[in-house]
Amino acid sequence: MQVTICQTNPRLFAVEQNLEQVIERIAHHRARGAELIIFPELALTGYFVGARYHEMALRLDSPQIKRLAAATKGTAAVVGFIEESRSMNFYNAALVAVDGEILFCYRKINLPNYGVFEEKKFFSGGKRVPVFRLGEFNVAVFICNDLWHPSLPYLGIAQKADIFVTIFNSSQGSMGSEFCNIESWQIINKFYARIFGIYNLCANRVGEEGPENRREIDYSEEAVADAPGSFNFWGGSEIINPFGQEVVRARLHEMDEVGAVIDREMLRQKRIILPYLRNDDPHFTQRELERILQGDKQYVTRRELRKVVRGEKY
């Protein structure tokens, strides 16, 4: 399957402009044989939407989303946007559209609410980790902070995912000077591919953006006097193979597009040579979680431990 990652620089609040660019890139890569085209988190809105999140939101029956889905005729796409549900909840979401039809929306589950991040202030969290079939592959979608919670990728693997589509908005300095986002994401992306034996298709954005960009819109001068400045989204989108090796990587700090052909034979090779998950038992995980959540931690006292060591108890 031929896959393409579009490392874009969305303009904050410019939904229509961003939408046109996304549709144009889908048409461009579909004509060149791409079967899956991936865009970053919040590709239709920009990241620091603040209190204007509801103005940028689209429903699945919105004309814009219908146009976007129609543009995938003959291919498939994953596109980050703000979704408004019928019950008027708002989600940091990823539209999954295949062959001109909306398949579903993945809704970000773990919403950060610390430092410069305020997603939990505005968005509802998702409740499911769905896996969908595309050609010969099972595909799971995750958004940014979801990958920092290992239980969520595991839920994809428990449903036999072959591919992770990981879309995010990572910027330099947003976590302080002691933490390197570029290094951390490169480690995480390779870790999941290597441990689970899957392809990881990772799409980050580029561009300069920050809370200061919305000053004249939803904050007074006093309210933003101490707000952080703009942040530089660094790009570096990449495709990682099931052995945790980089297949291709986009440029840093520039708009770019990268692609590769992925095949099931490498998945097969990895699972034969390094069958980490052969004996994985989700039912065991379920039982242990139920025991933990019910409060039965089965503490072992020192006396009991000494009996075990002496062979009196096992």
| Enzyme catalytic residues | 41, 108, 144
Q: Pseudo-torsion of CA 54, 212, 168, 186, nearest 10°?
A: -170
CA distance 114 to 64: 32
Through-space distance between the first and last CA atoms of the chain, rounded to whole angstroms: 51
- CA dihedral sign, ordered 12, 16, 22, 25: negative
Q: Are 171 and 207 in contact (CB under 8 A)?
A: no
What angle (nearest 5°) sits at the alpha carbon of residue 134, between those of residues 130 and 136?
120
Q: Are 139 and 163 in contact (CB under 8 A)?
A: yes
CA of residue 7 relative to chain centroid, distance: 14
Instruction: Please give the distance of CA 294 from its chain centroid, rounded to a whole number.
Output: 31
Alpha-carbon span 39 to 59, nearest angstrom: 19
